[in-house]
Chain A
């Protein structure tokens, strides 16, 4: 098998292929893109949170010199958009959140466009609003949507999207428990904060075909969404081409098609000019959708030996005013809820609720960080109730290779034990337990995540085409999206390895739906896994064709030939060799010659969850553990992270340099979610729409991350690899919360863990009133 052979490029810390362009300032982002005759789009947002639109007066805006189009909901056909088709590009009838788009302008420059937006007058009649998802569920709460997408009446704000998982018998498990702990946790709105804000450029050709210059993570699903939108505009059957620019950060913020994109399409269609729409940072905070907030009720029990008996989770997700794909994050939250540690009886119910808050979406981890915060916090609480050390408690319940979990995940490899033990060892867990230092605490958090794709759509496929030129240079045409994680480099490494050329011989072509074959999107930590497997399969086909061509030329049976380092050679006599470029030129410069291409559509052998939400969602599972040592200042409530150990079961590290980049970045993003990040909403209105008030961590806060890579080579993955993009941010918040509890005895249940909450907890602990 290939993986047993000595690997030349896979496993090496090869720098990112696009890094030089980026570090030279030459990469072209959406903000850098200009087209002749291009207009600039701007959006008029609602200044009411829930109100009827009585009238919109755009007459002054239309008269402003330089304005080429002003559109309101009345000017366009009714075309529902969004995951549940509950949204409109420009709102009609009423607004349901502050960011609601009520009008849009295209003008010759962005200043004029913004000035025109300010001239648009909207008259509203305010309606009662609801901001608390639990209040929104009460009878008599104001209805956010009176009807559903099909026009049927809505009786409540509860989304018609129930999530119910039942494995085993939770009530019996509870009855049989020696120790039971119950608690409530909450997580809040977290903004993706991509440094490159949102934007797009829409242009039509004279036949009505759309080209969308885009930063989406899902080009082919976007193609479908935009195509449906065009049909609504009377342009049924027209082509939609998505051209990706360099993307200034993803983190799940681009898994949906967004309202601004549809507005750009409308303006481009109306003006017959290219229209670029670029968000300001303020807009990025106000009109992008943040991570979905959760309220979690969780109970967990164990027997007298500390073995888990049941886990029962009830969750409310604040959907906000409209529905994104984020409403499906419970499908991934089920992964840790059912399958982190061996727990025989599991129940999970999630309810997504409409409110007048900002609508929310998925973010790195796809709900897993929210769910794992509750699970790993209560696991420490249960260990304490059972009188067992939290490390020992975890090891008692650790997942095993080969097990089938209650949700019917078929675990292949599992390095969770090695991860936990590695973290504990590096932290100095045993010594700390013997001699704890004042105000210092240790905390652990484990994780399970999809590591071999995730069948959240009917397909989890990835298309790839390879071709090789006269000189032995291989072009790999992929449907995958590079969002900075290093997908291109991984594809080049795998292709060079399996075809037998050098990484610098590989050109990766991506980002054009007219050229590149279909892919479901860059999500679920799947890109390296699926594209790596596609490259292995396509590369094998390409190599076979090359060897079949070389056989007659070299008078050697192709079965006895191999290709390595650009040289075709006989496996019996490596001296008998022919350079690859010579072979290929003969293929082309021969009467009735041939060109060498290969393609592969890799769809992993995983399963869509069935009606009971069971099935093998991923074909391998990524595990990991994070351990931290913190010091809590009992005077100020400040938390300092002194040690940060991140162990990851990655199957195999395809590129340790890039892999560590994912681990470091996820660690700090997870720490931000744990300690500082919260989009503050007051009656639906964002209070902190800038980087001074919304605190992402800086170089001063960079963590002393020590990564541990556990590599139980997994048969399913390319050279054994599993996904690693999201896992690092999954167990951070509970590890920190557990360490704070260990340090000062204060359990924080609501993220972020601010100094104020710690001080309030300390005061309460000392018997003071709050």
Chain B
């Protein structure tokens, strides 16, 4: 039996960045592959495929997950937020994204989307984190360029400047389908 004959697909419905989507996925497919290959949301990156680097971090019902290890079918009915969904409504960067830009927290940028999503989850949980909390919150996201210093600065600054970080995926008025 060749590979092509073995395919079984399931219907998966969930909400991504506020939009309901329906996709056909194979049971073994991970959320990252569905986002990138089926939905064209290439902001989340595959850095290792093993849940070790965090470049694929997205939020599922407000909780940060390594989407490379998150079975897509488990996202059924969930509210998923990716880096593409962080921009504020008029198409500008969110305060957290802007802090990354302003503090020099971006170099090659490959880890950046995952790093921002982890920081987003952290700030949703802890709006004014200490440096120690920021380090702990980003410990699962590897970066080879920056030494993390300016990333930590950016997240601290975003934490100081914003009083309310609405939890992505849990915005009022947006209900689970």
Contact = CB atoms under 8 A, between A and B. Distances in A.
A32 interface: yes
A280 B49 contact: yes
Interface string B19-52: 0000000000000000010000111111111101
B166 interface: no
A66 B2 contact: yes
Contacts of B42: 25, 28, 31-32
A15 B104 contact: yes
Interface stretch (B8-16, B70-78, B79-87, B167-175): B79-87
B160 interface: no
A23 B150 contact: no
Contacts of B113: 23, 25
Given A195-B110, A196-B110, A248-B109, A658 B104 contact: yes
B25 to A, nearest CB: 14
B56 to A, nearest CB: 11
Contacts of B141: 699
B84 A23 contact: no
B143 to A, nearest CB: 7
A195 B143 contact: yes
B43 A66 contact: no
A193 B144 contact: yes
Contact of B84 (A25, A194, A483, A669): A25
Interface string A1-34: 0000000000001011011111111111101100
Contacts of A27: 109
A691 B52 contact: yes
A560 to B, nearest CB: 40
Interface SS majority for chain A: loop
Interface stretch (A469-477, A572-580, A660-668): A660-668
A251 interface: yes
Contacts of B86: 24
Q: What's the interface size class on B, roughly?
A: 35 or more
A707 to B, nearest CB: 10
Interface in A21-55: 21-29, 31-32
B49 to A, nearest CB: 6
Contacts of A696: 142, 144
Nearest to A659: B104
Contact of B112 (A23, A247, A668): A23
Contact of A691 (B108, B134, B142): B142
A614 B121 CA distance: 56
A442 to B, nearest CB: 21
A28 B36 CA distance: 12
A700 B136 contact: yes
B125 interface: no
Interface string A475-495: 000000001111000000000
A281 B148 CA distance: 21
Given A22-B109, A194-B110, A699 B3 contact: no
B3 A66 contact: yes
The 10 residue pairs across chains A and B that have the minimum distance between CB atoms: A25-B43, A22-B109, A484-B108, A248-B110, A25-B83, A664-B147, A668-B147, A484-B107, A691-B52, A702-B148
9 contacts: A32-B42, A66-B3, A195-B45, A196-B108, A246-B108, A281-B47, A484-B145, A660-B149, A664-B147
Interface of B: 2-5, 36, 41-50, 52-53, 55, 82-84, 86-87, 93, 97, 100-104, 106-113, 116, 134-136, 138-152
